[in-house]
């Protein structure tokens, strides 16, 4: 009976977490297709084209920034290489809409760069010179690539470090130059890792709302947001969300297919002294300029401007409202992290108790939400919770009682549930990895000593997985602090988080008032990067 209760709890939890996806598909098949047909006849093709071009642009720029940088840091003696190993990950902590505002303020027509050029050369109007428009599809792709290229850098660098040095030495003995060794050996061997990074970059680009909305670029993400809040059509928003969900599924399928078609096995992988190509003269300084330039434009310059705004406008920013919004973010993120810990531990232990292939299904179902963009997930959460709210009020009226109103969608329930569906996969992965390192003999010993499933979890597994459990909870907490699209759609009335607070000022082009909140978000986002760098540090030396 006790094992049956674990099975029932595991499946119930997994089905609850997959409910938004099922509700989204069901709502997309419902009626109210007039608005969707109108969008299909008028602007849907523009949304699709802009989304495709944006994804392609961000992916290509991320490859251009990430792959050469990863190879230089992993395989060459670049100036400041030890510091570059972690510095090149810093742009991941910077929200893309903050970077968008900073560079719009610098490069727009009224910005300091163009104003300085006009003063220097005596230009009077835009007709006198040409300057690339930052508020464009290309500008959005450039900004997103500055924030997302560390995905490519991180995975490609790890792959280069794991490659067998003997293969590269053999290619050099056969007359290949360092460039030819990179093109013929290192790059093909790193292709599976690079494809994983490309899929992550593409999914993050699909999920981005704030940057494209700030640049007034119509993509599928903004279409979902505008259709729900502008037209009030949940069914049409669900149909558009399904298009994005289909794109995500295709990206995942493409990434997995690209990996299965290439299998490479290396001898002595990771057990050889690292290879470092010496760079001399201008080539050495060019490589250093390229790598440190990416750190400068991707993180250092935007963060320096944020610090300047934060200091100068501290008195205006540090208000009771700011403290309340920070408390809201702290509360929601903490609740989400605690629930994610409980769900991950439940599903992971259920998988360990059962051990069969069927017990893996709840784990995979519960993790599906991580692949969903925030706006799509929000629509999927709103559909069932809104139906439950109406049902609860109808039942109350049937009994002659006053309905409780928006009991679920008008409280923290919706936003916490949405965050949990989106980020529980992080905690599941961390707990699953920690449980996999525990020897089955410990389970048998606990059984021999008369411990049931609950006692075995409490006295054996929980002490051994607490570090992985804490790491997963920390990552869920940080991602919840940064989440914006889901918060915009799921937050209760008159409720703000730090992310929505900062974005409101960015939308009004008043970043200086929201700089303090942005600094807090960036500093919190640095924590997982420090952890990742420490885990790779032994490989990078």
Task: With respect to residue 110, please indicate whether it lies within any of the assigned structural domains.
Answer: no
Give the model confidence (pLDDT) of 67-80 as tens digits: 999 988 888 888 88
**Among 311, 345, 374, where does a domain finish?**
311
Q: Write down the pLDDT at residue 294.
A: 95
Q: Worst-scoring range by mean pLDDT, 253-267, 416-430, 479-493?
A: 253-267
The 10 Å CB-count burial string (b at 16+, else e) for 200-209 is bbbbbbbbbb
Report, as an integer, the average pLDDT of 41-53: 89
Question: Does position 62 have pLDDT exceeding 80, yes or no?
Answer: yes
The pair of structure tokens assigned to 417 is 């549930």
Answer yes or no: do 296 and 391 share one domain: no
Backbone angles phi, psi at 187, to 5 degrees: -65, -45
Task: With respect to residue 152, please indicate whether it lies within any of the assigned structural domains.
Answer: yes
**Among 247, 281, 311, where does a domain finish?**
311
Residues 5 and 163: their CA atoms lie apart, in Å, by: 47
Answer yes or no: do 343 and 371 share one domain: yes
Q: Write down the pLDDT at residue 297.
A: 94
Highest mean pLDDT among 98-107, 349-358, 375-384: 98-107
Answer yes or no: do 66 and 190 share one domain: yes
- Which of 390, 433, 430 is CA-nearest to residue 410? 390
Answer yes or no: do 270 and 341 share one domain: no
Q: Write down the pLDDT at residue 454.
A: 64
User: From the CB of residue 400, how many other CB atoms can be counted at a distance below 10 Å?
Assistant: 6
Question: Does position 268 have pLDDT exceeding 50, yes or no?
Answer: no
Answer yes or no: do 423 and 364 share one domain: yes
Residues 79 and 77: their CA atoms lie apart, in Å, by: 7
Question: Does position 4 have pLDDT exceeding 90, yes or no?
Answer: no
Answer yes or no: do 399 and 360 share one domain: yes
- Which of 158, 264, 209, 64 is CA-nearest to residue 540? 158
Answer yes or no: do 271 and 375 share one domain: no
Question: Does position 452 have pLDDT exceeding 50, yes or no?
Answer: yes
Q: Which residue has the tokens 């692949």?
A: 371
Residues 381 and 52: their CA atoms lie apart, in Å, by: 26
The distance from CA 51 to its chain's CA centroid, rounded to whole angstroms, is 18
Task: With respect to residue 524, please indicate whether it lies within any of the assigned structural domains.
Answer: no
Answer yes or no: do 4 and 55 share one domain: no
Task: With respect to residue 148, please indicate whether it lies within any of the assigned structural domains.
Answer: yes
Highest mean pLDDT among 53-57, 236-240, 357-361: 53-57
DSSP for 287-305 reads HHHHHHHHHIIIIIHHHHH
Q: Which domain holds residue 477?
A: 1-26+313-507
Give the model confidence (pLDDT) of 101-151 as tens digits: 899 988 988 888 888 888 888 888 777 888 888 889 999 999 999 999 998
Answer yes or no: do 499 and 433 share one domain: yes
Question: Does position 369 have pLDDT exceeding 50, yes or no?
Answer: yes
Residue pair 350/362 in contact (Cβ under 8 Å)? The answer is yes
Helix (H, G, I), strand (E, B) or coil at 134: coil
Residue pair 349/9 in contact (Cβ under 8 Å)? The answer is no
265: left (phi over 0), alpha (psi -120 to 50) or beta: beta
Helix (H, G, I), strand (E, B) or coil at 78: coil
Q: Write down the pLDDT at residue 175.
A: 66
Q: What is the largest CA-CA distance in the chain?
A: 88
| Of 179 and 56, the one with more pLDDT | 56
Burial class, 518, CB count within 10 angstroms (exposed 0-12 / middle 13-18 / buried 19+):
buried
Task: With respect to residue 108, please indicate whether it lies within any of the assigned structural domains.
Answer: no
Answer yes or no: do 52 and 186 share one domain: yes
Instruction: Provide the pLDDT confidence category of residue 261 given band limits of 50, 70 and 90.
Output: low
For residue 80, what are the CA distances in angstroms to 85, 282, 397, 531? 9, 16, 70, 20
Q: Write down the pLDDT at residue 103.
A: 92
Q: Worst-scoring range by mean pLDDT, 15-19, 48-52, 469-473, 494-498?
A: 469-473
The distance from CA 185 to its chain's CA centroid, rounded to whole angstroms, is 30
The 10 Å CB-count burial string (b at 16+, else e) for 280-305 is eeeeeeebbeebbebbebbbbebbeb
Instruction: Provide the pLDDT confidence category of residue 539 given band limits of 50, 70 and 90.
Output: very low
Question: Does position 234 have pLDDT exceeding 70, yes or no?
Answer: yes
Task: With respect to residue 198, please indicate whether it lies within any of the assigned structural domains.
Answer: yes
Instruction: Provide the pLDDT confidence category of residue 336 given band limits of 50, 70 and 90.
Output: very high
**Among 272, 296, 311, where does a domain finish?**
311
Answer yes or no: do 231 and 153 share one domain: yes
Task: With respect to residue 535, please indicate whether it lies within any of the assigned structural domains.
Answer: no
Looking up residue 426, the CATH number of its domain turns out to be 1.10.3720.10
Q: Which residue has the tokens 């510095």?
A: 87
Give the model confidence (pLDDT) of 162-198 as tens digits: 776 667 666 666 666 677 777 777 777 778 888 888 8
Residues 165 and 160: their CA atoms lie apart, in Å, by: 10
Give the model confidence (pLDDT) of 271-280 as tens digits: 555 667 787 7
Domains in the chain: how many in total?
2
Question: Does position 262 have pLDDT exceeding 60, yes or no?
Answer: no
Instruction: Provide the pLDDT confidence category of residue 439 given band limits of 50, 70 and 90.
Output: low
Q: Write down the pLDDT at residue 540.
A: 44
Answer yes or no: do 144 and 283 share one domain: yes
Task: With respect to residue 425, please indicate whether it lies within any of the assigned structural domains.
Answer: yes
Residues 6+ apart with CB under 8 A from 327: none
Report, as an integer, the average pLDDT of 323-339: 92
């Amino acid at each position: 009976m006790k094992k049956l209760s674990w099975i029932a709890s595991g499946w119930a939890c997994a089905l609850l977490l997959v409910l938004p996806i099922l509700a989204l598909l069901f709502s997309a098949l419902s009626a109210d297709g007039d608005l969707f047909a109108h969008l299909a006849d008028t602007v849907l093709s523009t949304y699709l084209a802009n989304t495709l071009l944006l994804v392609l642009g961000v992916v290509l720029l991320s490859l251009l920034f990430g792959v050469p940088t990863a190879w230089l840091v992993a395989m060459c003696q670049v100036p400041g290489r030890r510091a570059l190993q972690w510095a090149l990950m810093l742009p991941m902590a910077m929200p893309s809409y903050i970077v968008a505002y900073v560079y719009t303020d610098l490069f727009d027509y009224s910005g300091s760069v163009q104003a300085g050029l006009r003063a220097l050369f005596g230009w009077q109007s835009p007709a006198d010179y040409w300057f690339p428009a930052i508020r464009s599809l290309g500008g959005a792709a450039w900004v997103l690539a500055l924030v997302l290229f560390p995905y490519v850098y991180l995975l490609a660098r790890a792959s280069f470090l794991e490659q067998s040095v003997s293969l590269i030495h053999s290619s050099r003995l056969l007359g290949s130059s360092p460039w030819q060794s990179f093109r013929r050996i290192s790059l093909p061997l790193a292709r599976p890792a690079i494809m994983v990074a490309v899929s992550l970059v593409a999914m993050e680009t699909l999920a981005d709302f704030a940057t494209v909305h700030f640049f007034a670029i119509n993509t599928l993400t903004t279409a979902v947001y505008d259709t729900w809040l502008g037209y009030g059509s949940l069914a049409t928003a669900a149909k558009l969300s399904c298009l994005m969900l289909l794109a995500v599924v295709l990206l995942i399928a493409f990434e997995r297919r690209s990996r299965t078609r290439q299998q490479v096995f290396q001898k002595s992988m990771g057990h050889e002294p690292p290879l470092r190509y010496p760079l001399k003269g201008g080539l050495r300084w060019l490589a250093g300029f390229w790598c440190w330039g990416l750190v400068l434009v991707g993180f250092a310059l935007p963060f320096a401007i944020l610090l300047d705004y934060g200091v100068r406008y501290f008195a205006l920013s540090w208000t009771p409202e700011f403290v309340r919004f920070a408390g809201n973010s702290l509360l929601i993120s903490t609740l989400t992290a605690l629930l994610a810990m409980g769900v991950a531990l439940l599903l992971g232990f259920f998988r360990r108790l059962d051990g069969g292939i069927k017990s893996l299904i709840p784990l995979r179902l519960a993790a599906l939400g991580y692949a969903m963009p925030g706006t799509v997930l929000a629509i999927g959460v709103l559909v069932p919770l809104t139906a439950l709210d109406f049902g609860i009020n109808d039942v109350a009226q049937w009994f002659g009682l006053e309905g409780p109103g928006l009991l679920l969608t008008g409280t923290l329930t919706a936003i916490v549930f949405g965050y949990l569906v989106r980020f529980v996969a992080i905690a599941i992965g961390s707990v699953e990895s920690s449980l996999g390192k525990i020897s089955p003999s410990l389970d048998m010993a606990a059984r021999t000593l008369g411990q049931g499933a609950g006692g075995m979890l409490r006295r054996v597994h929980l002490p051994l997985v607490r570090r992985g459990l804490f790491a997963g909870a920390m990552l869920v907490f940080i991602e919840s602090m940064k989440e914006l699209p889901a918060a915009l759609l799921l937050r209760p009335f008159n409720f703000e988080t730090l992310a929505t607070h900062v974005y409101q000022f960015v939308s009004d082009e008043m970043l200086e008032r929201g700089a303090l909140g942005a600094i807090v978000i960036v500093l919190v986002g640095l924590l997982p990067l420090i952890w990742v760098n420490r885990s790779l540090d032994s490989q990078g030396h």
